[in-house]
Structure formats: structure tokens, C-alpha cells
Amino acid sequence: MPEFPEATTISSQIKNYFNLTKNQPNLNHPQITLKKINIYKDSIIKNPELVNELINKNLEDVSNYGKIIYFKFNGNYWILFHLALTGALLIKEFLSPDKLNYFEKYKIIEFIFNINNEQEKILFFSAKRLFEKVIFTKDENPLKKYGPPFNRLKTIDFINILSKIKKPIKIALMDQSLIAGIGNIYAIESLFCAKISPLRKSSEITVQEYYKLYNCLKEILKESIKQRGSTISDYVDALGQEGNYQNLHKIYNKTKCPDCNSKIKRIKIEDRITYYCPTCQK
Ligand SMILES: [Zn+2]
């Protein structure tokens, strides 16, 4: 469920927590060393044999590429987090006792960091269902199989990528190998905003419509980040708090169109629930 706004919310909270400044990674950069990893459930952990190699490595960056949150360490070691439906990446000291108690029941893995050899900081990953993934990898660029993230795309590139695709626009928008970061909720909301039917073939959408869709997505994602994302069922940020953008959804999970009052259609496109207004979206 977490898409770009939710992953961005979590990764920036963790980045701030570690005082990893955005533009000047080497200036006043604290030395953040991974001291210990405790694994509680190993079924969703990929390449756990790398755990020993990661100990004593320095954390260089925390960020997200589309929906995927990552920790990058020296020596090209990475930990990637796919939050899927119920994954939560949490800063232990910021959780209330109730929340800590709740999330610890579903704890998958815990990371103990040491800051400048003085202070200890603990993060953990919890997941109720087990579709989520924690991937350890040693690679120069483990994210190369994904398309460029939407937030780094210019309008012209967005149009070039999508207009070649013969599938419905909603499917193309959500295909992470084309563009990274957009999932079901933001595809539905942005297509409504741009008045484009989710069933239209991407190759048949006009350039003007693509401009509108790009701007809608940009605005919607920006506002959602401001609201710390959308919580539909399980999503929480790194502090264990729900997002607020679900209160601003116009069409996702709604029955009546806010613009024309028509009944909203709820259909499945390639197995994913889709909402659209048959009157406004053509
Ligand atoms: Zn409508």
C-alpha cells in the first residue's frame, strides 16, 4: 500500500532522526555504525547471510526510490524495504508504550545503530502479513530494474514513457518498471483529477491530457507528503502515526462523484480495485 508519499514520509523522518543532511552528506555527518541486527522472523528476509558483513558498516544514506525505502552503507551494502500492505519501519524511542507493545508483536527485524560511538539508536521493521520484504544486497545499484521515480521525471519524459504503452493507463502508471512510486490510490486519484478513464489505452491519450495528468500527480503527491500519506488500513509513519491524506481522497473508496454527483464505478483492472466516475472521466 505505501506509495511514494508514504515512503518519502518515512525515509525523511528517519533521515532527520539520524541527522543525515540532504545536500551536504559529508558536512557534519555523524558516524552512524550498524552494531547489531536481531532477526525475529526470517521468512521475508532475502540474503540474510549478508548480515555479518553489514555489522560495523557505516550508514551513508536513508532515502526512498519510488515506494522502496533503503538504507545505504559504505562498501555498496544496502538494505531495501518493501512495505507492501502491513510493513512498518519504526523509530523505537518515538513510539508510545501502547504502540511499541502493538508493533513489537509483529517484529521481523531490529537494527541497533551507534552514533559517533556514544549514542544507541534502534529501528525495527514489523509486518502483520508476510507479503513484505527486507532485502540485504551488495550491489552498485540495486534499483536499476525499476523505472525512473516520478519525482525525478520531467513532463516530456513522462509522456515519452507512457505513450508507447498499449495497456490501460492505470496499469501503465502502476508498473514500477516504467515509472517508480505510483500505486493504486494515487493512480486512481490522479486519473480522476485529469478526467481520464483508467481503462483508456496509454498510447491513445493526448499530449494535453498527459500534461494535465502529470500536473495532477505532482500536486496530489505533494499534498499527500504534507499530510504524511494516506492510511487506508495499516500504514503508519516512522513514528507509528497514521497519515491524513485519506481525508482528502476524492474518489478512492467513495460512492458519489464530488464533481457531478454520478455514482462512482468500482471495477477490477488486472485484479486491482479501481474507482472512477463514468461521467467525468473519458
Ligand atoms: Zn463525475
Task: Kindly report, residue by residue over 145-179, the tens digit of the pLDDT.
Answer: 999 999 999 999 999 999 999 999 999 999 999 99
In a domain, 143, yes or no: no
CATH number, domain of 92, equals 3.20.190.10
The answer to whether residue 281 is domain-embedded is no
β-bridge partners, 252: none
User: 5 CA distance to ligand 1 centroid (A)?
Assistant: 26
Tell whether 144 is covered by a domain.
no
Q: Which residue ranges in the chain fall short of pLDDT 70?
A: 1, 22-28
Tell me, yes or no, whether 120 lies in a domain.
yes
Check: CB of residue 120 under 8 Å from CB of residue 36.
no
Ligand 1 center to 193 CA (angstroms): 10
- Residue 125 C-alpha to ligand 1 middle, in angstroms? 40
Domain match, 86 and 181 both: no
> How many angstroms does the Cα of residue 279 sit away from the middle of ligand 1?
5
> pTM here?
0.94
Query: What pLDDT sits at residue 1?
Result: 67
Paired with 263 in beta bridges are: 256
Q: Is residue 94 domain-shared with residue 163, that is, in the same domain?
A: no
> What are the strands, taking DSSP E only, across the chain?
32-39, 45-46, 59-65, 68-73, 77-82, 88-91, 107-115, 119-126, 133-138, 265-269, 272-276
Residues 260, 160 share a domain: yes
Q: Last residue of a domain, which of 88, 112, 138? A: 138
What are the tens digits of pLDDT across the range 241-272? 999 999 999 999 999 999 999 999 999 999 99
Are residues 112 and 231 located together in one domain of the fold? no
Does 47 share its domain with 70? yes
- Please check whether residues 53 and 129 belong to one and the same domain: yes
pLDDT of residue 46: 96
List, in order, residues 6 or more apart from 149 with CB less than 8 Å away.
4, 65, 66, 179, 180, 181
pLDDT, residue 23, reads 52
Three-state DSSP at 131 gives coil
Same domain for 23 and 106?
yes
CA 69 vs CA 170, 206, 226, 257, 278: distances in Å: 23, 33, 18, 34, 36
What CATH number does the domain containing 193 carry?
1.10.8.50
Can you give the pLDDT at residue 26?
58
Residue 36 domain boundaries: 4-138
Please state the domain count of the chain.
2
